[in-house]
Amino acid sequence: MRGGPAVANTIMTSHQLAERIESLRNRMIKVATVKGFTSEESLAISRELDYLLNKYDLQQREQKLHKL
């Protein structure tokens, strides 16, 4: 998963990323509650969530640098 999940490779605004992150968090909680935290589906959602959180953080840092 070098480039990250396919969905995450699209260009997204910070707002879109934040919405997707929140959606995935909610989905991961539901899946983990039913199937367990170590289920393959929970882990896949967790990996995508990690990728998006890192992407969001990078976007925020770049925006701050451009404001200087």
How high is the pLDDT of residue 2? Answer: 44
**Three-state secondary structure call for residue 39:** coil
d(CA 9, CA 35): 27
Q: Which fold has domain 14-67?
A: MYOD Basic-Helix-Loop-Helix Domain, subunit B (4.10.280)
Distances (CA, A) of 2 to 21, 37, 52, 59, 62: 19, 23, 13, 18, 21
d(CA 13, CA 15): 5
Q: pLDDT tens for residues 9-65?
A: 568 888 999 999 999 999 999 999 999 999 999 999 999 999 999 999 999 999 888
Q: Which two tokens stand for residue 9?
A: 């490779």
pTM of the model: 0.79
Annotated domain spans of the chain: 14-67
